[in-house]
């Protein structure tokens, strides 16, 4: 089997973009299978930083087919901006080369409409201290309309006659929510302008719209290698994350199948990406959070500010209880540990190995956030290390204390360590096993 799924094992921001960029060297097709532009996948090549919100991170390799799968929600405005940015940099031929566009947008994907964003923000504002801390990109309301079976799909967006009908229907519901929340409702000119703009955007995207599942299956049958690129992380999964402080899509490896329109037999190995420590952006439980100077130092050294919203990320120690859960629910076969360099110079390093609640040791990661808010992490302390080389050719190039730390994490999680990241740039990672072999 030569395909693989790459997912986040924590609360997102694990560095999946740079890992997917590296693995894309060997892949032929790269597929985003859920979420939308709440994601911000950062890739640094020759000192140039690119943040991708919707287009798969494989796009930085010129010959790869990139697919935005049916499980995604697409803001046409943002996607067109991203496509134009990539085109201006010579990475995407919007006039479409001889083989047709190398970006495929699933015809079944749902569209994020302007009122989804307004509802998202109005709802968060109304929740006050009970807010989720969403990215405000309309992701939740778009998935809600999908589940309510009134969503606009990409194949509708490209049909000008259908846009008005869907939008008027959707606005009726959005307006009722906005009215209840004292938000600004849509009517008259604003509504007509929205419809006209969406029609225009649909026509611009049309050349890329196709049956994503069929295209992926076709490539696989022709012996091509497919890499499925997850967004967010296991603990933000709608069903298995720290509900209700989660995103509104399924982030787990199994969803790569449903979210791409291919059978689970195509998925291959499951690579979980995790940072050498933990971060979380937005509200919700975070048992190993550091709210002191050390947490601030991690944030500054690790550049822990949201790639999408710029918000400061919360920081903390690695949490093996949560990670064991993520490994189990994703069926992880391989680990990629990123940002090891950020831990250099921090003195002793702690890792949570168990949770206690009211003096009782928990067997598993709790599903109820009320319990999770009460857990007391049990820590194991490791001696720190001072520096990590900018590039490494083998684990032997790392300080012994860093090797011990990695070894402990790998052994605790019980799956092979396949990639270690020691810096943000392309090439600043050591590949120990070929995940797409």
Catalytic positions are: 13, 41
Residue 248 or 333 having the CB closest to ligand IMP: 248
Whole-number minimum distance, CB 111 to ligand IMP, in Å? 16
Q: In what helix (H) or strand (E) does residue 294 lie, and over which residues does it extend? A: helix 293-301
Interacting residue with ligand IMP among 31, 79, 132, 349 (CB under 6 A): 132
Whole-number minimum distance, CB 134 to ligand IMP, in Å? 4
Query: In Å, what is the CA distance from 79 to each residue of 13, 105, 197, 316, 408?
Result: 20, 10, 14, 33, 41
Interacting residue with ligand IMP among 2, 50, 135, 288 (CB under 6 A): 135
Tell me if 39 contacts ligand IMP by CB under 6 A. yes
Whole-number minimum distance, CB 135 to ligand IMP, in Å? 3
Tell me if 12 contacts ligand IMP by CB under 6 A. yes
Q: Which residues pair with 416 in a beta bridge?
A: 334
Q: Which stretch binds ligand IMP (CB under 6 A): 149-157, 182-190, 202-210, 245-253?
A: 245-253
Residue 348: φ, ψ to 5°: -60, 145
Residue 28 or 229 having the CB closest to ligand IMP: 229
Tell me if 142 contacts ligand IMP by CB under 6 A. no
Q: In what helix (H) or strand (E) does residue 166 lie, and over which residues does it extend? A: helix 160-180
Spatial distance between the Cα atoms of 281 and 12, rounded to a whole number of angstroms: 8
Q: Are 133 and 281 in contact (CB under 8 A)?
A: yes
As a residue count, the chain comes to 437
Residue 65: φ, ψ to 5°: -85, 125
Tell me if 247 contacts ligand IMP by CB under 6 A. yes
Whole-number minimum distance, CB 128 to ligand IMP, in Å? 16
Interacting residue with ligand IMP among 9, 13, 154, 242 (CB under 6 A): 13
Tell me if 134 contacts ligand IMP by CB under 6 A. yes
Residue nearest to ligand IMP (CB): 282
Whole-number minimum distance, CB 281 to ligand IMP, in Å? 4
Whole-number minimum distance, CB 187 to ligand IMP, in Å? 26
Whole-number minimum distance, CB 284 to ligand IMP, in Å? 6
Helix axis angle, 320-330 relative to 400-413, nearest 10°?
50
Tell me if 74 contacts ligand IMP by CB under 6 A. no
Helix axis angle, 160-180 relative to 114-127, nearest 10°?
10
Interacting residue with ligand IMP among 6, 31, 59, 236 (CB under 6 A): 236
Interacting residue with ligand IMP among 29, 113, 119, 231 (CB under 6 A): 231
Q: Which of residues 263-282 bind ligand IMP (CB under 6 A)?
A: 281-282
Residue 305 or 408 having the CB closest to ligand IMP: 305
Tell me if 139 contacts ligand IMP by CB under 6 A. yes
Residue 10 or 428 having the CB closest to ligand IMP: 10
Spatial distance between the Cα atoms of 43 and 366, rounded to a whole number of angstroms: 34
Query: In Å, what is the CA distance from 433 to each residue of 394, 399, 415, 437?
Result: 12, 21, 12, 8
Residue 243 or 408 having the CB closest to ligand IMP: 243
How is residue 51 written in tokens? 């943040």
Residues with Cβ < 8 Å from 186, sequence gap 6 or more?
Answer: 114, 115, 118, 171, 174, 175, 178, 194
Give the pairing of strands 278-280 and 314-316: antiparallel
Tell me if 32 contacts ligand IMP by CB under 6 A. no
Q: Are 433 and 4 in contact (CB under 8 A)?
A: no
Tell me if 38 contacts ligand IMP by CB under 6 A. yes
DSSP string, 62-113: TT-EEEE-TTBEE-HHHHHHHHHHHHHTTS--TT--TT--SEEEETTPEEPP
Binding site for ligand IMP (CB under 6 A): 11-13, 38-40, 132-135, 137, 139-140, 231-232, 236, 245, 247-248, 281-282
């Amino acid at each position: 089997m030569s395909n693989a799924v790459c997912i986040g094992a924590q609360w997102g921001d694990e560095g999946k973009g740079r890992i997917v960029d590296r693995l894309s060297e060997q892949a032929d097709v790269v597929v985003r299978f859920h979420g939308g532009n709440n994601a911000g996948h950062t890739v640094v090549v020759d000192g140039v930083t690119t943040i991708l919100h919707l287009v798969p991170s494989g796009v930085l390799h010129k010959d790869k087919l990139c697919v935005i799968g049916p499980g995604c929600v697409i803001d046409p405005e943002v996607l067109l901006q991203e496509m134009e940015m990539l085109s201006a940099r010579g990475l995407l031929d919007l006039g479409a080369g001889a083989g047709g566009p190398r970006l495929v947008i699933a015809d079944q994907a749902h569209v994020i409409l302007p009122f989804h964003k307004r509802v998202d923000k109005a709802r968060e504002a109304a929740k006050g201290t009970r807010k989720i801390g969403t990215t405000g990109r309309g992701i939740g309301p778009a998935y809600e309309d999908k589940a309510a079976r009134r969503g606009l799909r990409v194949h509708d967006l490209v049909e000008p006659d259908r846009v008005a009908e869907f939008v008027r229907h959707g606005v009726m519901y959005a307006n009722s929510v906005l009215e209840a929340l004292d938000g600004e409702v849509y009517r008259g000119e604003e509504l007509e302008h929205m419809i006209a703009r969406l029609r225009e955007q649909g026509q611009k995207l049309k050349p890329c719209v196709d049956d994503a599942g069929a295209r992926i299956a076709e490539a696989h049958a022709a012996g091509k290698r497919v890499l499925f690129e997850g967004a967010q992380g296991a603990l933000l999964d709608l069903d298995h994350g720290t509900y209700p402080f989660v995103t509104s899509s399924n982030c787990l490896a199994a969803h790569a199948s449903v979210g791409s329109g291919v059978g689970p037999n195509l998925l291959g190995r499951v690579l979980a990406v995790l940072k050498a420590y933990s971060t979380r952006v937005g509200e919700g439980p975070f048992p190993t959070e550091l709210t002191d100077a050390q947490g601030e130092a991690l944030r500054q050294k690790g550049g822990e500010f949201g790639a999408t919203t710029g918000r400061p990320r919360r920081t903390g120690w690695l949490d093996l209880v949560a990670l064991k859960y993520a490994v189990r629910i994703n069926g992880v076969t391989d680990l990629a540990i990123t940002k090891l360099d950020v831990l250099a110079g921090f003195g002793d390093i702690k890792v949570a190995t168990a949770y206690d609640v009211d003096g009782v040791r928990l067997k598993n990661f709790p599903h109820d956030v009320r319990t999770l808010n009460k857990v007391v992490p049990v820590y194991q302390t490791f001696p720190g290390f001072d520096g990590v080389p900018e590039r490494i050719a083998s684990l032997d190039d790392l300080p012994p204390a860093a090797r011990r730390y990695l070894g402990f994490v790998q052994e605790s999680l019980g799956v092979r360590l396949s990639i270690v990241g020691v810096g943000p740039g392309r090439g600043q990672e050591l590949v120990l096993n070929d995940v797409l072999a």
